[in-house]
Each structure stands twice: as structure tokens, then as C-alpha cells.
């Protein structure tokens, strides 16, 4: 049993291992951030669905509602083994917090590195009625402070998602003959038909599948902009407000919003068109900011060409991106300082 506490009668922690293959990685052999996000989400979906069904009651499937901001701490390569560990750390009445870490291991040398740590929130939906949110069996905490800390994280994310709920109206239009390093030059889209293998038992898309497609588009935007090897450095908090049904066509679009000296911020939108036996119109299912870094052959971050923001909207988005960049940089530095003093 995990040290953090037992999540009701079901197991509170789980671990899965998988070797990284060429189709998990880019041409330079670095594993895609999207592959990591998909593995993380799969583990989270398993442990939270297991927990939500651990008592007799209405059978349900846990749907991904939110992923907190996550940093990719070290790159993983083809041939390394990823160990994904997931643990339930808090339950509210209708949601489950899962903390996941990904350890990469070189099985020839035994060297291990933490590749990623993420926090995800799942909401159980009834197997009989996809629109019905089911109650979560309360988790038992080993210590009172764990519950208090969990409640604090729950309140914080609730506040954050209320503030960001409406940031969704924008559309990306094609640009004719764009100049290099402008927004229009690197903006990219991908169209995907949602098939059964993309979906949960309830017939809507797994959050991990969506995040993988989003990372793919963001990676194309970054590579088009700087034309070097790029890797995902971080993803800002993502809220999944809308389900995407099997049979829908989704358009995933990305555009660059900001460049610092050595990083690029890309905004990604996912629009769903449920045109098969649904009169519903196309809608924005999710949006998020990805940050990419360009790496040299030795794996060192390289300077990136500066983004040429031309229109008033592009300039405004650039300034907003700069604000997010400065904020997350300050946070990282504050977190690194106590560790450096030890
Ligand atoms: N992040 C974390 N928790 C969330 C959330 C979010 N973005 N949105 C809702 N919740 C939690 C609420 O806090 C609440 O729990 P609580 O009562 O313990 O506080 C619970 O979900 C139900 O909230 P409610 O307001 O009744 O439901 P809703 O109408 O907001 O629906 C979802 C919530 C998650 C069911 C709905 O937004 C949804 O279907 N999203 C898409 C899920 C999905 O398809 N994921 C994969 C996308 S590719």
C-alpha cells in the first residue's frame, strides 16, 4: 500500500512499464511529449476508474477533466524504459486527483531520470448515462495534513478553471505567402476522424489521445519556425470542458504566440465537428499553451529565431505570452533555490 494513504477498498497506487520505440519519438530519437502525456493519462484513467468502481454502485468511467501545468524535466530516448507510477492523492465529492510520475531508465547502464511529474483530475461518468456525474467513494488519508493539502489544491484549481473557462473564441485563418518567422508562416493544422480506438467505453475521446494530437501540431509549428530538432518543455494547465464523440471530425490547429531567447510558446485549439447523426454545430473542445525548446545534437538548448508579430492581435498575444513566460520562469527559479541551498 502507498505511503500516502489508501483510496478506499481499491489499490491507491499503480505502476506500468513500457519500452520507448521509434514510433514514440521524433527523427532525432527524442520521445514526443505527446507520447508521455498519453501514457500519463492512460495510467490516470485506469487508477481513477478503478477507484470510482471500488464500491457497489453505479458503474462508471473516469473522464479526464483537467491536467495541471506540467514540465518535461529530462528528455527520453528510443530504447529507454518508461516507468509510469500513478497514485490517487485526493478525492472531492465528484472528482479524483491523480499524481503521476514518469521515470526513464537506460536498461544498459541502469541510469534513471525523472522525465515528468503531472497532476490530473478525473470525473466519473455513469456507464448508463454519459451526462450523469457519479459520486466518488471518499479516499482514506494516512494523515490529516494530506487531506488538507489536497483540499487546498482542489480549491485552487477550481478557482483557476473558472477564470480561464471563456478563453476560447479565436480561429486560425490561412495566410497566403507568409514571410519566414511570422505567425502565419508556421501555423499548422491537423484533421482527424475520431475512431473507436481513440475512445473510452463511453464512446468519447480519451484525454490522452487529444493531448497527443495537440502536442503533434505544436511540434510541427515549432519545427517549421526554427527548422531544428525540437522537444516539448512544458504544457500549461488544460481543462477538458467538452466531450468529443466517436465519429466526430476534429481539427487541431496551432500558432506561435511568443518566443523568448531559447523557447517558443504555441497555442493549440481543438475544434470538434460531430456531423454524424448529431445536429450539433462545430465547437471548441479544448485549448492549451505548449512550450518548446530547440536542442543541439548534444542536447543543449539553442537560441530560436524571434517571432515577428505583425498585427495588433499578434502583438497582444506576444505580450500575454511573455507574461506567462516570466511568471513560470520565476516559479521555476523559486522552486530551484531551496533545492540548491540543501
Ligand atoms: N477540472 C477539474 N475538475 C472539474 C473540472 C475541471 N475542468 N470540471 C468539472 N470538474 C469537477 C467539479 O469540481 C465537480 O466535482 P465536485 O462536485 O467534487 O467539486 C465535478 O467535476 C462535477 O462538476 P459539474 O459542474 O457537476 O460537472 P460539469 O457539467 O462541469 O461536467 C465534466 C464536468 C468533466 C463531466 C465535463 O466538463 C466533461 O464532460 N468534460 C469532458 C471530459 C472528456 O471528455 N475528457 C476527455 C476530453 S478529450
In the predicted structure, residue 340 carries a pLDDT above the cut 70: no
Instruction: Give the global pTM.
Output: 0.92
The pLDDT value recorded for residue 100 is: 98
Active site annotation includes 53: no
Name all residues whose Cβ lies below 6 A of ligand 1. 63-66, 92-95, 121, 123, 125, 133, 157-158, 161, 204-205, 207, 210, 239-244
Active site annotation includes 215: yes
Distance from the alpha carbon of residue 239 to the mean position of ligand 1, in angstroms = 9
CA distance 207 to 242: 11
The atom number, within ligand 1, closest to the CA of 210 reads 48
Q: Which of 8-12, 36-40, 194-198, 262-266 has the lowest mean pLDDT?
A: 8-12
Region 137-164: mean pLDDT is: 93
179 with 40: CB under 8 angstroms?
Answer: no
Q: Whose CA is closest to atom 17 on ligand 1?
A: 94
Categorize the per-residue pLDDT at 228 as very low, low, confident or very high, splitting at 50, 70 and 90: very high
Percentage above 70 pLDDT, the chain: 93
**β-strands 188-193, 81-91: how paired?**
unpaired
CA distance 332 to 263: 15
Report the chain's mean pLDDT, rounded to a whole number: 92
CA distance 231 to 300: 11
**Burial readout 146-157 (b: 16 or more C-beta within 10 A, e: otherwise):** bbeebeebbeeb
Contact residues for 112 (Cβ-Cβ < 8 A; gap 6+): 103, 104, 105, 106
Greater confidence, 338 or 234? 234
The three three-digit cell numbers of residue 280, written as one number: 450539433
The pLDDT value recorded for residue 10 is: 47
Greater confidence, 335 or 337? 335
The pLDDT value recorded for residue 52 is: 96
User: Cell 500575454 sits at which residue?
Assistant: 320
The pLDDT value recorded for residue 167 is: 57
Kindly list the strands in the beta sheet with 112-126, ordered across the sheet, starting from the edge strand earlier in the chain: 13-19, 81-91, 96-105, 112-126, 60-67, 238-239
**β-strands 188-193, 112-126: how paired?**
unpaired
Instruction: Name the residue of 123, 195, 206, 288 to mutate for ligand 1: max ligand atoms within 8 A of Cβ.
Output: 123
Region 205-211: mean pLDDT is: 97
In the predicted structure, residue 174 carries a pLDDT above the cut 90: no
Question: How many Cβ atoms from other residues are within 10 Å of residue 319's Cβ?
Answer: 12
Distance from the alpha carbon of residue 127 to the mean position of ligand 1, in angstroms = 16
Q: Whose CA is closest to atom 8 on ligand 1?
A: 65
Q: Which of 24, 215, 236, 271 is catalytic?
A: 215
The pLDDT value recorded for residue 280 is: 82
The pLDDT value recorded for residue 80 is: 98
In the predicted structure, residue 183 carries a pLDDT above the cut 70: yes
Region 219-239: mean pLDDT is: 96
Amino acid at each position: 500500500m502507498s505511503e500516502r494513504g489508501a483510496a478506499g477498498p481499491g489499490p491507491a497506487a499503480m505502476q506500468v512499464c513500457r519500452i520507448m520505440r521509434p514510433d514514440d519519438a521524433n527523427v532525432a530519437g527524442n520521445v514526443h511529449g505527446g507520447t508521455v502525456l498519453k501514457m500519463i493519462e492512460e495510467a490516470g484513467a485506469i487508477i481513477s476508474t478503478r477507484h470510482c468502481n471500488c464500491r457497489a454502485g453505479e458503474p462508471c468511467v473516469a473522464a479526464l477533466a483537467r491536467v495541471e501545468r506540467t514540465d518535461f524535466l529530462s528528455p527520453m530516448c528510443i530504447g529507454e524504459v518508461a516507468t509510469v507510477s500513478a497514485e490517487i492523492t485526493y478525492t472531492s465529492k465528484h472528482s479524483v486527483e491523480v499524481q503521476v510520475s514518469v521515470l526513464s531508465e537506460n536498461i544498459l547502464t541502469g541510469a534513471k531520470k525523472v522525465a515528468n511529474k503531472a497532476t490530473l483530475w478525473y470525473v466519473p461518468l455513469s456507464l448508463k448515462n454519459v451526462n450523469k456525474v457519479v459520486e466518488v467513494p471518499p479516499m482514506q488519508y494516512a494523515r490529516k495534513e494530506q487531506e488538507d493539502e489536497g483540499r487546498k489544491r482542489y480549491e485552487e484549481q477550481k478557482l483557476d478553471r473558472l477564470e480561464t473557462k471563456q478563453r476560447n473564441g479565436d480561429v486560425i485563418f490561412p495566410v497566403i505567402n507568409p514571410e519566414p518567422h511570422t505567425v502565419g508562416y508556421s501555423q499548422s493544422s491537423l484533421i482527424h476522424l475520431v475512431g473507436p480506438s481513440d475512445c473510452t467505453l463511453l464512446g468519447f475521446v480519451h484525454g490522452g489521445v487529444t493531448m497527443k494530437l495537440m502536442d503533434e501540431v505544436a511540434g510541427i509549428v515549432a519545427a517549421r519556425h526554427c527548422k531544428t530538432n525540437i522537444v516539448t518543455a512544458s504544457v500549461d494547465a488544460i481543462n477538458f470542458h467538452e466531450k468529443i464523440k466517436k465519429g466526430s471530425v476534429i481539427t487541431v490547429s496551432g500558432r506561435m504566440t511568443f518566443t523568448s531567447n531559447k523557447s517558443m510558446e504555441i497555442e493549440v485549439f481543438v475544434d470538434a465537428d460531430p456531423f454524424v447523426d448529431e445536429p450539433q454545430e462545430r465547437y471548441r473542445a479544448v485549448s492549451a499553451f505548449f512550450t518548446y525548446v530547440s536542442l543541439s545534437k548534444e542536447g543543449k538548448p539553442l537560441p530560436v529565431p524571434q517571432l515577428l508579430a505583425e498585427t495588433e492581435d499578434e502583438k497582444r498575444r506576444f505580450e500575454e505570452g511573455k507574461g506567462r513566460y516570466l511568471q513560470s520562469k520565476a516559479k521555476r527559479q523559486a522552486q530551484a533555490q531551496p533545492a540548491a541551498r540543501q
